[in-house]
Amino acid sequence: AKRQGRSRAEVFDDVLRAQLAERAELEAAIAAGLTNGEMELHYQPVVDVADDRVSGYEALIRWQRPGHGWVAPDDFIPVAEASSLICDLDRWVLHEATRQLAEWRRVHPAAPDTPEPTMAVNISGRHLADRSVVQDVADVLAASGLPPALLVLEVTETVLVDAPAALDNLAALRALGTSVAIDDFGTGYTSIGQLRHMPVDTLKIDRSFIGSAEPGHEELVALIIRAAHTFGLTVVAEGVEEPAQLVRLLADGCDHAQGYLLHRPLTAADAGALLARVRST
C-alpha cells in the first residue's frame, strides 16, 4: 500500500472531533444531572475571626455523575459556562441554597438580637450579564421568604470590569436588598484603588494570597484589608489552613475567615447539625 497510515491532519481531525463529542456528552450529562437530582449542595461555614461565630455559609455544588462518582466543580462548571446551561445550574443552586437557609431558620431559630447567618451563592459571569438574573434572584427570594440581606451573591472581579450589562444587573440585584461579594480578589486585574468604585459589599481575598509564603504577601493582605475597610467593605479571607494565618488575620482586623482549618464544606445534614449546636449553647 502507498499510504502507511493516517496523515497528521487526519489524526488531528479525529482528536478534535473526539474532544467536541466528549464536551457535548458532558453538557448533556450536566443538563440531565440537573433534572435527575444528581446535584447536591455542600455548605462551607464562614467564621467571624474575632469571636469564632459561624456568620454564614457558602453553597458549593457537588455532582454525583452516574458511572463516574463525584465530579469536582472545576471539572464541569467551565463546560456549563460555555453555554446557557450555566444559567440553569445557577438557578438551581440559588433555589436550593435559599430553600435550605429558610429551612434552617425555621428549625433552629436565632435568639433575639443575635445575627442571622448568611448564605453565599456563586453567580457565574455569564448569568450575571444575562437579563434573567434579576428575575431569578427575585423569584428565589419570594419563594423562600428570606430577608434579602441574608443572600450574598459572589461574583468575580473580571465580570465587573468586562461586562457593562453585568454592572447594571448588579445594581438591580443590590436594589433588591441582596449583598454582593467579589470572589477570588487578587487573581484578576483590579487594583485596590478601583475598589472604591465597585458596587459591592464584601471582598473575598483569594486563597493564593492567604496561603502564600512569598515575601510581601502578608503585608499585601494587611493592605487590602485596610483599604477595603476604608471603602466600607467587609473582608473574608479564603483558604485559611494554618493557625498562624488566622492569628495574623485577627491582628490585621480581617472580619471573616473560611478554610479547612475552620471547617471543610459540609453536607446539608452536617451543616444543619453544626447550626443546631451553635444555637443551643
Phi (first) and psi of residue 216, to 5 degrees:
95, -20
Here the cell at position 193 is: 484603588
Q: Which of 73, 188, 253, 272 binds ligand C2E (CB under 6 A)?
A: 73
Residue 88 lies near ligand C2E (rule: CB under 6 A): no
Cα 68 to Cα 26, 29, 63, 74, 79, distances in angstroms: 11, 11, 10, 15, 16
- In the complex with ligand C2E, the residue whose CB is nearer, 1 or 213, is 213
Sequence-distant (≥ 6) Cβ neighbours of residue 72 within 8 angstroms: none
Residue 178 binds which entry of Ca ion, ligand C2E, none, CB below 5-8 Å type-dependent: none
Q: Which of 100, 118, 124, 190 binds ligand C2E (CB under 6 A)?
A: 124
User: Rounded to an integer, what distance in angstroms lies between the CA atom of residue 151 and that of residue 178?
Assistant: 5
User: Rounded to an integer, what distance in angstroms lies between the CA atom of residue 16 and that of residue 13?
Assistant: 5
Query: Residue 67 carries which DSSP code?
Result: T
Residue 77 lies near ligand C2E (rule: CB under 6 A): yes
Bridge partners, 183 (sequence order): 156
Here the cell at position 237 is: 479571607
Q: Name the one residue in this structure whose C-alpha cell is 450574598.
A: 152
Binding mask 191-210 for ligand C2E (x = CB under 6 A): ----------------x---
SS3 140: helix
Helix (H) or strand (E) holding 92: helix 85-107
Amino acid at 71: V
- In the complex with ligand C2E, the residue whose CB is nearer, 43 or 104, is 43
User: Nearest approach, Cβ of 241 to ligand C2E (angstroms)?
Assistant: 5
Residue 74 lies near ligand C2E (rule: CB under 6 A): yes
- In the complex with Ca ion, the residue whose CB is nearer, 58 or 130, is 58
Residue 12 binds which entry of Ca ion, ligand C2E, none, CB below 5-8 Å type-dependent: none
Residue 265 binds which entry of ligand C2E, Ca ion, none, CB below 5-8 Å type-dependent: ligand C2E
Q: Which residue, among 226, 246, 239, has the nearest Cα to 183 in the 3D structure?
A: 239
Cα angle vertex 277, ends 273, 278, to 5°?
A: 115
Residue 61 lies near ligand C2E (rule: CB under 6 A): yes
Residue 93 lies near ligand C2E (rule: CB under 6 A): yes
39, 254 contact by CB (below 8 A): no
202, 236 contact by CB (below 8 A): yes
- In the complex with ligand C2E, the residue whose CB is nearer, 183 or 252, is 183
Stretch in the footprint of ligand C2E (CB under 6 A) among 29-37, 66-74, 98-106, 243-251: 66-74
Q: Which of 130, 183, 252, 255 binds ligand C2E (CB under 6 A)?
A: 183
- In the complex with ligand C2E, the residue whose CB is nearer, 53 or 95, is 95
Binding mask 17-46 for ligand C2E (x = CB under 6 A): ---------------------------x--
Give contact residues for ligand C2E (rule: CB under 6 A). 44, 59-61, 72-74, 77, 90, 93, 122, 124, 183-184, 207, 239-241, 258-260, 265
